[in-house]
Amino acid sequence: MTILLALAAVYAAMMLLRYGRRALLVAVPGLVRFRSQPDAPAATAPQRQAGEALASLGFRRLGRRTEDGPFGGLDLRTDAWANEADGAYADVFDHAPRPGAGPWLYFLSVFPDGALALTANHPRAGRSDGTVEVGGIVGAGADAAWAVHRRTVSRLAGRHGLPAAAADLAAREAAARTWYRVAGNRELRRLFRLHFLNTVFAAAILGYAAHALWRRFHAS
């Protein structure tokens, strides 16, 4: 029995190591941290191609961005762009969904009262409540996704004012913090809720096994 309890404790500890880092983001989304590299070049050829499309739409490149969580629980690396005239940011991810496909990207606009719109060309959980608008067209090019985003912004501007997007990485990080506070926290919880449940289960097993082992050693 002692061996089984020890094995259960080891297994639970391994589960905590595997799932706990993302469970932390479910419990405290504010643990996401941002790093920027203004002079770093685009990491991939698809990013450079997407950058050419964004430049033709009036965007200016800001540099490289990383959003990460404790112990590597989140590791998002993007190329960051801004369109000051239209009050929008664009992020292009390093990875593509499959070889030969264009990279994932999204447009983000933050309004003066904290409302926001995010339009992506990859799967995202849709949301439309008058304050937060999240959606897009899976597989769309930058121009098509941008057209959808502009329509969304136009619809929201009547209630929330015109969005702003300063062309510097500090302003981009402020917009990211708004995203995680208003809508990204819910997205993290949806994405990582299984990690959270596994972590709770593992903590319960570890607690039970450790207590049982403690009682056995002290009883002997």
Tokens at residue 135, please?
A: 């959606």
pLDDT value for 107? 98
CA dihedral 181, 183, 184, 190 (to 10 degrees): 130
Helix axes 185-219, 2-27, angle to 10 degrees: 160
Task: Tell me how far apart the alpha carbons of residues 123 and 137 are, in angstroms, rounded to a whole number.
Answer: 8
Q: What is the pLDDT of residue 17?
A: 82
Name residue 132's beta-bridge partners.
Answer: 116
Q: What is the pLDDT of residue 39?
A: 81
Number of CB atoms found within 10 A of residue 5's CB? 18
pTM for the whole structure: 0.86
Vertex 169 angle, CA 168 and 171, to 5°: 75
Burial class (CB in 10 A: 0-12, 13-18, 19+), 32: buried
Predicted confidence at residue 202, as pLDDT, reads 82
- Segments of the chain with pLDDT less than 70: 5, 8, 96-101, 213, 219-220
* 164: Cβ contacts below 8 Å, ≥ 6 apart: 84, 87, 110, 112
Q: What's the pLDDT at 70?
A: 81
Q: What percent of the chain has pLDDT over 90?
A: 47
* pLDDT at position 5: 64
